[in-house]
Amino acid sequence: MNEFIDVKIDKENLERAIRIIPQALKFELGDAFDHIGRSFLGTFRKERFHGPPGVYGDGAYGLYGTFRRASLVSQTIEGMGLEIFSESKVSKRHEFGERVMPEQQALAVPIKSLNADVMYTAGNRLKKQYKYPAQLNKTFVITSRGKSFLAKWMSGRLRFLYVFKPYVDVRARLEFYHTWDELQGKIFTYINQAVDRALAKV
């Protein structure tokens, strides 16, 4: 095991620092929480936002860009902390899994395997004009073998752009909480180092 990683918080040192040098401890813990937040988001971004087994959504304008970190400021050390969150419904969907139902009769699901060169960016994001299939011009519905497709002639080629489905099951694959749990040892280490730095000032 890497010697850098601690398996628990040194409570004895922490309680001692709270008693004898609380202001220095608050400063050092604030710095530690900042490192913890940046370290977690860096790992989370690298491991879960570049496609399977995670999702596509890297960058400020992708799903990753919906995540925020905030330090919890408090007059007491016990009230200090770190919050990392996303208010995006899509991130929740990818974290826990969800069955997506249509607002009307069916969902128009992009057929990426046939149209990645046309409908998707180099970063694997659906292009803006293809996010709203009802607004596309000169499309028509084709039914074949019990399935319905939204198609369009493009540069002399018939493209099956979307398939209509009664629902879509989104698998849980973001693993926000799992990634956090995997970093517990590193988190404990940052906190213990912050306590040690504070006690070194006595």
So what's the pLDDT on residue 171?
96
Taken as a whole, the chain contains a residue count of: 202
pTM to 2 decimal places: 0.84
Q: What is the DSSP letter of 128?
A: G
Where the chain has pLDDT below 50, the residues are 1-4
Q: Where are the domains of the chain?
A: 11-97+171-199, 102-166
| CB contact at 8 A, 2 and 184 | no
Contacts of 53 (CB under 8 A, 6+ apart): 173
Q: Parallel, antiparallel, or unpaired: how do β-strands 67-72 and 81-86 relate?
A: antiparallel
So what's the pLDDT on residue 48?
97
CA atoms of 124 and 55, how far apart (whole Å): 10
CA atoms of 128 and 133, how far apart (whole Å): 10
Q: How many helices (H) and strands (E) does the chain have?
A: 6, 8
The CA R_g of the chain, rounded to the nearest whole Å, is 24
So what's the pLDDT on residue 193?
96
So what's the pLDDT on residue 3?
44
So what's the pLDDT on residue 1?
31
